[in-house]
């Protein structure tokens, strides 16, 4: 038997934390002296505290660890716990990498000698024949599902010259899920509709246009600039905004090389 102080030293877990584990039922002493109140632990409990520490290092909560210790000999159940935690950490890693990318882009902009500015112009995009895909996707970040659908169902498209590829956002408000988007790409020739790809002539549209060179994290600033310009110059928005991707992730893996044209239909 080990006194709580000796058990603390050998397990490298503080006495305060051992008492907390006792209070929540995670690891109870083997014995408690009824007169002195001293806590004593079996040597075998060092293996248990080692498991607890290892699971904590993996990021499991104490509530989860209590459940896991009750099922520690069930390999299938333990594997399910580990698998779910891996998925959570993978998602967290992706979110962290995205935030690091935003911070890196922000620092690069700060180091530029002059403030960034966005020029807005009004122009008419003429009538065009295009392959279109209209879908509802889980999030804005899942826009790529539309382009994948177009590629999978139509692998012999002949792009027009110049070729315009765009995504039009149809919801009247920002949505956290179930986002409605139309993706279209101008083509030449004639084609037969597939299950999801429809070919049609898109009408000419007058837009307030702004070119963004660089990563998509600047998009919010561009939207604000165009919206303010429209109001200040006596125009009104007249339709769903869309982005034309002149240089997109399909052409380069370097976000600094992206070229995106933000278009707001106006009258």
DSSP, res 115: -
CATH 3.20.80.10 residue ranges of the chain are 120-265
Class of domain 120-265: alpha beta
Q: Report pTM.
A: 0.60
pLDDT exceeds 70 at position 14: yes
For position 203, what pLDDT does the model report?
95
| Rounded Cα gap, residues 1 and 29, in angstroms | 10
Share above pLDDT 70 across residues of the chain, in percent, rounded to a whole number: 96
| Rounded Cα gap, residues 227 and 232, in angstroms | 9
Please give the average per-residue pLDDT across 9-24, as a whole number: 94
pLDDT exceeds 80 at position 152: yes
pLDDT exceeds 80 at position 109: no
| Rounded Cα gap, residues 229 and 207, in angstroms | 12
Please give the average per-residue pLDDT across 150-171, as a whole number: 92
Is the separation of the CB atoms in 184 and 131 below 8 Å? yes
**Helix residue ranges per DSSP H, 112-218:** 144-153
Angle among Cα 124, 246, 112 to the nearest 5 degrees reads 105
Is the separation of the CB atoms in 2 and 48 below 8 Å? no
pLDDT in tens, 246-256: 999 888 988 88
Residue with more model confidence, 232 or 111: 232
pLDDT in tens, 114-144: 556 788 999 999 999 999 999 999 998 899 9
Dihedral sign computed on CA atoms, order 179, 158, 190, 238: positive
Structure tokens at 187: 């083509």
Please give the average per-residue pLDDT across 43-56, as a whole number: 93
3 state DSSP class of 179: strand
Give every CB contact of residue 229 below 8 A, 6+ residues apart in sequence. Answer: 120, 208, 210
Within 13 A of 25's CA, how many CA atoms are on the CB side? 7
CATH 1.10.1660.10 residue ranges of the chain are 2-72
pLDDT exceeds 50 at position 113: no
- Paired strand residues for 197: 133
For position 260, what pLDDT does the model report?
94
Q: Which CATH number fits domain 2-72: 3.30.390.30, 2.40.50.100, 1.10.1660.10, 1.10.1040.50?
A: 1.10.1660.10
């Amino acid at each position: 038997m080990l006194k709580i102080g000796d058990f603390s030293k050998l397990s490298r877990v503080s006495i305060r934390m051992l008492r907390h584990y006792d209070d929540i039922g995670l690891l109870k002493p083997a014995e408690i002296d009824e007169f002195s109140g001293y806590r004593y632990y079996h040597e075998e409990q060092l293996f248990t505290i080692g498991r607890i520490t290892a699971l904590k290092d993996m990021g499991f909560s104490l509530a989860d660890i209590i459940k896991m210790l009750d099922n520690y000999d069930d390999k299938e159940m333990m594997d399910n716990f580990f698998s779910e935690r891996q998925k959570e950490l993978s998602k967290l890693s992706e979110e962290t990498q995205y935030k690091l990318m935003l911070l890196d882009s922000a620092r690069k902009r700060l180091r530029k000698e002059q403030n960034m500015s966005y020029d807005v112009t009004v122009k008419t995009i003429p009538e065009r024949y295009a392959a279109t895909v209209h879908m509802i996707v889980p999030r804005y970040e899942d826009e790529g599902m539309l382009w994948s659908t177009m590629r999978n169902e139509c692998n012999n498209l002949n792009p027009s010259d110049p070729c315009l590829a765009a995504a039009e956002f149809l919801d009247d408000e920002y949505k956290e899920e179930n986002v409605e988007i139309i993706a279209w790409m101008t083509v030449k020739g004639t084609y037969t509709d597939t299950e999801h790809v429809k070919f049609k002539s898109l009408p000419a549209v007058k837009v307030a246009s702004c070119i963004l060179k660089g990563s998509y994290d600047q998009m919010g600033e561009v939207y604000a600039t165009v919206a303010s310009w429209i109001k200040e110059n006596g125009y009104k928005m007249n339709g769903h905004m869309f982005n034309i991707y002149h240089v997109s992730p399909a052409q380069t893996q370097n976000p600094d090389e992206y070229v995106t044209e933000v278009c707001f239909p106006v009258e």
